[in-house]
Amino acid sequence: MTHRSAFAVVAVLATALLPPVTTLAQQPAQTVTTAPVATVANPLAEAIRDRIDHLRYEKQQDLRGARVIADELVAKYYEAQQFQPAWQDPARLDELVASIEDLRNDGLDPNDYHLEALRSYRLDVRMQSPLTLQDRADLELLATDAFMLGLYHVYLGKVDPVKLSAQWNFSQRPTPTFDQGLQRFSARLAAGEIRVAFDSARPSHAWYQRGRDRLQEHRAIAAAGGWPGIPDGPTLKPGMSDTRVPVLRKRLEITRDLAPAPGTTAAPDPDLYDAALEQAVKAFQERHGLAPDGAVGPGTRAAMNVSVAQRIDQIRVNLERGRWTLHEMKGEFVLVDVAGFYVSYFRNDEPVWTSKVVVGRDQRETPIFRSKITYVVFNPTWTIPPGILVKDKLPELRRNPGALKRMNIRVLDRSGREVNPHSVNWNQYGPSRLPPYQFVQDPGPNNALGLVKIMFPNPYLVYLHDSPAKSLYEQDQRTFSSGCIRVQQPFELTELVLNDPQWNRQQIDAVIATKETRTVNLKTPVPVLLLYWTAQPRPDGQVIFRNDVYGRDPPTLAALDSDFRVPVVN
């Protein structure tokens, strides 16, 4: 588990609990002081104080099958409130339970937030059962813990992404001070604004609410029995008659790719693969990253036969990724969806331009990180990185040193002098002994980087660039590069990031025609986010699903179902 300080946790809660239009600059800082024990004035407050004292020394106390997680933070809250109760009102408890149940639509497990124990306490409160003071004190601690932990997880994410990837460099959502956080958390709780607090903590991006809606919809499909699998057999094509067609039709109706046929009109041939079904298959293929050819072959059939439970898990995993990153998706930025094989230029939360990309193949995965685009290079040279040199070029050099000339690659020594590749014994070099040379491919249409590269600082030697291998963009799964991102429409993206009237397509073409390398700095750097989405909710109410090409969903799902960030005081 990842331990956070109370400072960070309550600061998170402060930001989550602010009204949407309020800024920190408009809020005067307030200091919350811990009241002395002598101010405890009623038996329940005294019981809470006693329970807090025990909580600090008995970390594993059983409260109807649950235990307080954020123990020190809960203690600090009650100390600041002079141990006064907050959850004895049945209506307030109802709202907390409903809000925790609703965390299921965030892809979280309500049982992580003491749901069953709180339901039990709520029943006793509603039935006016003769609860002891200790029972009522236990309810206070458990309810406050659930409220804090739930807010914390919908605000920052349940899983710490740094634990899943050492490359992770996205910023955490902004947080104010500890005292501000505790004061505002207390104000929300005192006002009984439980659901409002959760809504404020969630990412405000439209993508996130769409994802919640689609998760709820897929859970309803699962509850109704899911969708049928398409049996094996020959590829189904438009115009064919096949006994699997009614199953195919039903499968696509359930996911709204196909509108249900009017109930009063019987189809003349229910086994006929007609034009309406063809369009539905194409729509399904398009949102699953398949060539929209209308033919239900092995690839399309495999995508249709992924269970609704698996699709639910995909949406859950990507909602968690949204909690990590959606706060970064503001203003104008470039987003590379590595799993989706697309790059998009965003304005005001929506893409205004999109292009296909090629990303890293197995063992050379494109990393997930953020940076800022700072310059572009026209007619770039390509200096071969050490990894590509060892894995790709040295074996070729050993077979035929003359291959470099055909690729327009020059060998340069440390003084920049060109070396005849035939004069070098390439067999002496390998992973443990790199050649003492630079390998530079001169500009030109066959350069590995094409005619333009778009640069952003990062330690992985990754950038966006053109490519002479145009046919690869027509593949469904485009994992062919050594880690960089090849862009199908690189000059359109170049115009967007330069954002300068003098750098229109005509001027770009003129610079390219000179065949001379030229670097142009951006007037304003543009954020670039390299993300990994295997499920994306669309504005039209559908979901785009993609293959998990790098196998990153299972470890994220495992962490989501087991590990979680736990706020404690260091």
Q: Which residue has the higher pLDDT, 29 or 470?
A: 470
The predicted-structure confidence for 517-562, as pLDDT tens digits, reads as follows 999 999 999 999 999 999 999 999 999 999 999 999 999 999 999 8
Partners of 156 in the β-ladder: none
Dihedral sign of CA atoms 203, 205, 210, 213 in order? positive
Calculate what percentage of the chain has a pLDDT beyond 70. 90
Backbone angles phi, psi at 392, to 5 degrees: -110, -45
Task: Find out whether 336 and 192 touch, Cβ atoms under 8 Å.
Answer: no
Amino acid type, 121: Y
Report pLDDT for 36: 47
Task: Find out whether 165 and 89 touch, Cβ atoms under 8 Å.
Answer: no
Amino acid type, 164: L
Average pLDDT of the segment spanning 270-295: 96
269 within some domain: no
Q: Where are the alpha helices (DSSP H) in 340-411?
A: 386-388, 394-399, 403-406
Q: Is the pTM of this model over 0.85?
A: yes
* pLDDT of 273 higher than 80: yes
Q: Which residue has the higher pLDDT, 407 or 501?
A: 501
CA dist 32 and 38 (Å) reads 17
The encoded tokens of residue 154 equal 């919908």
Q: What does each C-alpha distance from 319 to 351, 505, 522 come to in angstroms? A: 19, 38, 33
- Checking phi first, is residue 303 left (phi over 0); if not, alpha (psi -120 to 50) or beta? alpha
Q: Residue 340 sits in which domain range?
A: 323-554
Q: Which of 440, 173, 513, 555 is nearest to 326 (CA)?
A: 173
* pLDDT of 24 higher than 60: no
155 within some domain: yes
Average pLDDT of the segment spanning 78-107: 95
* pLDDT of 35 higher than 60: no
Lowest-confidence segment of 48-57, 169-178, 385-394 by average pLDDT: 169-178
Highest mean pLDDT among 29-38, 344-353, 486-495, 560-569: 486-495
Average pLDDT of the segment spanning 250-272: 84
178 burial level (CB within 10 Å; 0-12, 13-18, 19+): buried
Residue 28 burial (CB count, 10 A): 7
The encoded tokens of residue 210 equal 């769409």
360 within some domain: yes
Consecutive H or E run containing 371 = strand 370-378
CA dist 564 and 561 (Å) reads 8
HSE-up of 53 (CA within 13 Å, CB side)?
8
Q: Which residue has the higher pLDDT, 490 or 563?
A: 490
Q: What does each C-alpha distance from 60 to 57, 459, 481, 561 come to in angstroms? A: 9, 44, 51, 21
Q: Which of 316, 370, 208 is nearest to 554 (CA)?
A: 316
pLDDT confidence bin for 11, thresholds 50/70/90: low
* pLDDT of 290 higher than 60: yes
* pLDDT of 405 higher than 90: no
Report pLDDT for 127: 78
Task: Find out whether 319 and 216 touch, Cβ atoms under 8 Å.
Answer: no
**Domain end among 183, 203, 223:** 203
**Domain end among 143, 175, 203:** 203
Q: In angstroms, how far is CA 111 from the centroid of its own chain?
A: 23
Backbone angles phi, psi at 510, to 5 degrees: -65, -40
CA dist 331 and 346 (Å) reads 7
Q: Which residue has the higher pLDDT, 204 or 407?
A: 204
Arithmetic mean of pLDDT over the chain: 88
Task: Find out whether 125 and 90 touch, Cβ atoms under 8 Å.
Answer: yes
393 within some domain: yes
22 within some domain: yes
Report pLDDT for 50: 92
292 within some domain: no
Partners of 464 in the β-ladder: 454, 485
* pLDDT of 304 higher than 70: yes
The predicted-structure confidence for 451-475, as pLDDT tens digits, reads as follows 999 999 999 999 999 999 999 999 9
Average pLDDT of the segment spanning 226-249: 97
Q: What does each C-alpha distance from 325 to 143, 155, 168, 204, 314 come to in angstroms? A: 29, 11, 11, 12, 17
Average pLDDT of the segment spanning 503-528: 95
Lowest-confidence segment of 362-366, 390-394, 448-452 by average pLDDT: 390-394
* pLDDT of 171 higher than 90: no
Q: How many domains in the chain?
A: 2
Coil, strand or helix: which one is 108?
A: coil
Coil, strand or helix: which one is 419?
A: strand
The encoded tokens of residue 229 equal 């699998």
Task: Find out whether 411 and 424 touch, Cβ atoms under 8 Å.
Answer: yes
Coil, strand or helix: which one is 131?
A: coil
**Domain end among 203, 223, 252:** 203
* pLDDT of 1 higher than 70: no
CATH number of domain containing 421: 2.40.440.10
Average pLDDT of the segment spanning 469-491: 95
Highest mean pLDDT among 180-194, 205-219, 267-281: 205-219
Q: In angstroms, how far is CA 481 from the centroid of its own chain?
A: 22
Query: How many residues are given for the chain?
Result: 570
Q: Give the DSSP letter string of 522-547.
A: EEEEEEEEEE--SEEE-TTS-EEE--
Average pLDDT of the segment spanning 247-275: 87
* pLDDT of 503 higher than 80: yes
272 within some domain: no
270 within some domain: no
245 burial level (CB within 10 Å; 0-12, 13-18, 19+): buried
Dmax of the chain from CA atoms? 94
Q: How many helices (H) and strands (E) does the chain have?
A: 19, 17
* pLDDT of 570 higher than 50: no
CA dist 529 and 325 (Å) reads 9
The predicted-structure confidence for 372-396, as pLDDT tens digits, reads as follows 999 999 999 999 888 888 888 888 8
pLDDT confidence bin for 2, thresholds 50/70/90: very low
